[in-house]
Amino acid sequence: MLETLTKNITDALSRIRGKKRLNEKQLDETVALINDALIRSDVAQDVAEAFTKAVAKRAHGKEVLEGVNADEQFIAIVHEELVRIIGEGNASLALLPDEKLSVVLLCGLQGSGKTTSAAKIGNYFKKTRRVMLVGLDVYRPAAMEQLETLAAQAGIRCHVEKKEDKPHKILKKALFIAKKESINLMIVDTAGRLEIDEAMMAELKRVANSVDPVEKLLVMDATAGQSVYGVAKQFADAVGITGVVLTKYDSDAKGGAALSLRYATGTPVKFVGTGEHMDDIDEFDAERVASRMLGMGDVVKLVKKAQESIDQEKADEMLKNIIENNFSYNDFLTQIESTMKMGGIQKMMSMLPGTQGIADSIGDSEEKKMAHFKAMIQSMNKKERLALFPLTNARIVRIAKGSGTTVYDVNQLIKQFNNLRNLMGSNKKMARMMGGLEKMGIDLNAMNIDALQKTGR
């Protein structure tokens, strides 16, 4: 995600990196390059123009640029203006207290990902709220069925009425059920259209007026390019949306939609869909997104992913094995599975500062290699996994056949495992130090993400 926009902006900024002073010509040239980079990344033209004008106005002040770190100061201005135009702060939903019902209305064009987003948002809040999904797409029975299926997968309540063709009647029944069952978060999936029309907007207004939603969220496809700008503006003008859900954000290499939508609607992006799984949705944080656009990575998200993906009991056991020089194929498998849960090496690398080029060069080859390594280790017997003795040729052939790989592949696994094991052995002191952090009252797994985020800013 954001690969093209990140590359275009960082390329534009590369000409000033290391400069102790910047003259007017260098500033104007760099600002022009940034403007071009934004346009090529599907940012709407008036958004790009407003952004670069704001950057140029601030950067031309002598008090800003007469320093030994003029390049860093200029990049800081770009970062601040990116945050301002995307939307400052963490844009959480404005939900009512738990004892009251909060209604969140989702609207958008057909195919934008409304139904999936409704289920993902419901799944996101199910640990802290009593959630119910409501389907109002009376024109597409398949959408109702999809909502039911997704709700069942997420384990949350769902209300649809396939024989009722009046959305307001379905909504009235849903409100009755919500009150009866003490539901405190109702997510309403409204009907979409292939294009905006008066009937669609009139229906949306009727639905919104009948439930007084705390949020009216516009669901937009991030890969739709510059067309998102005009569509978003029409919805904002017609129904007064309070925020945006950006779907297919993981597939949006250009990244222009994230910049354009806040400017078009006057409301922040609230959520971004980052994959096909139910938990592939994130609250949108403008500062972190701006940092990624400038090639600074997203360490906060990396740590969050690690905390969600790593089994602490297995991690403790692996640390013990490293200290005692007993690192085994089981430990290697734990590492592989944790990395895969975090989205793979490429996704992890893209979250680290200054590694976008490395992440891009990794491609699918490393991900496939990890999958093969996992299959080979799973084809070993219990004794082989302990790595207490060298694997014979006969065992290597059996493992290759059992995992659908080749003898060469198994030998590559053995080589990489031995290299890693030797590295672990040479870093036993570091492992002991990490193990001793707990005794000092430092729990890495319970790191305060908010504190880390503030530190990184």
Same domain membership, residue 258 and residue 340: no
Same domain membership, residue 279 and residue 147: yes
Give whole-number Cα distances, 386 to 327, 391, 397, in Å.
8, 11, 18
Residue 318 neighbours by CB under 8 Å, 6+ apart: 327, 331, 334, 335
The C-alpha atoms of residue 164 and residue 395 are separated, in whole angstroms, by 64
The C-alpha atoms of residue 292 and residue 137 are separated, in whole angstroms, by 37
The C-alpha atoms of residue 59 and residue 75 are separated, in whole angstroms, by 10
Predicted pLDDT of residue 71? 74
Residue 186 confidence (pLDDT) above 60: yes
Predicted pLDDT of residue 450? 45
**Closest residue by Cα to residue 265 from 289, 247, 240, 287:** 240
Residue 404: pLDDT band by 50, 70, 90 thresholds?
A: very high
Same domain membership, residue 310 and residue 290: no
Residue 382 confidence (pLDDT) above 50: yes
Within 10 angstroms of residue 159's Cβ, the number of other Cβ atoms is: 23
* Domain endpoint, select from 243, 271, 295: 295
The C-alpha atoms of residue 216 and residue 193 are separated, in whole angstroms, by 17
Residue 437: pLDDT band by 50, 70, 90 thresholds?
A: very low
Residue 435 confidence (pLDDT) above 60: no
**Do 42 and 254 meet the contact criterion of CB atoms below 8 Å apart?**
yes
How much is the average pLDDT of 107-128? 94
How much is the average pLDDT of 427-439? 46
| Choice between 398 and 64, residue whose per-residue pLDDT is larger | 398
Residue 2: pLDDT band by 50, 70, 90 thresholds?
A: low
Residue 134 confidence (pLDDT) above 50: yes
How much is the average pLDDT of 192-221? 87
The C-alpha atoms of residue 127 and residue 134 are separated, in whole angstroms, by 19
Predicted pLDDT of residue 214? 95
Predicted pLDDT of residue 278? 93
Residue at 453 is within a domain: no
* Domain endpoint, select from 44, 60, 86: 86
Q: Mean of the per-residue pLDDT values for the chain? A: 79
Residue 348: pLDDT band by 50, 70, 90 thresholds?
A: low
Predicted pLDDT of residue 447? 42
The C-alpha atoms of residue 220 and residue 110 are separated, in whole angstroms, by 10
pLDDT in tens, 275-299: 888 988 988 888 777 777 776 654 4
Residue 347: pLDDT band by 50, 70, 90 thresholds?
A: low
What's 359's domain CATH number?
Answer: 1.10.260.30
Residue 426 confidence (pLDDT) above 70: no
Residue 191 neighbours by CB under 8 Å, 6+ apart: 136, 137, 138, 139, 140, 143, 167, 200, 203
Quick one: how far is CA 227 from the chain centroid? Answer: 22
Tokens, residue 324: 């005692």
Residue 457 confidence (pLDDT) above 80: no
Residue 432 confidence (pLDDT) above 70: no
The SS3 call for residue 210 is helix
Same domain membership, residue 331 and residue 283: no
Within 10 angstroms of residue 42's Cβ, the number of other Cβ atoms is: 24
Give whole-number Cα distances, 423 to 314, 322, 390, 416, 418, in Å.
20, 10, 18, 11, 8
* Domain endpoint, select from 25, 55, 86: 86
Mean pLDDT is lowest, of 163-177, 231-245, 308-322, for 308-322
**Closest residue by Cα to residue 167 from 131, 206, 209:** 206
Predicted pLDDT of residue 354? 47
Same domain membership, residue 215 and residue 344: no
Q: How many domains does the chain have?
A: 3
Predicted pLDDT of residue 96? 94
What's 284's domain CATH number?
Answer: 3.40.50.300
Predicted pLDDT of residue 41? 79
pLDDT in tens, 18-70: 777 777 888 888 889 888 888 887 788 888 888 899 988 888 765 444 444 67
Mean pLDDT is lowest, of 58-72, 151-165, 421-435, for 421-435
Residue 216 confidence (pLDDT) above 50: yes
pTM assigned to the model = 0.64
Give whole-number Cα distances, 220 to 134, 344, 435, in Å.
19, 26, 46
| Choice between 457 and 50, residue whose per-residue pLDDT is larger | 50
The C-alpha atoms of residue 167 and residue 203 are separated, in whole angstroms, by 8
Exposed/middle/buried for 344, CB within 10 Å: 0-12, 13-18, 19+?
Answer: middle
Residue range(s) defining the domain that contains residue 19: 3-86
How much is the average pLDDT of 322-338? 78
Same domain membership, residue 118 and residue 81: no
Same domain membership, residue 331 and residue 214: no
Residue 161: pLDDT band by 50, 70, 90 thresholds?
A: very high
Residue 439 confidence (pLDDT) above 90: no
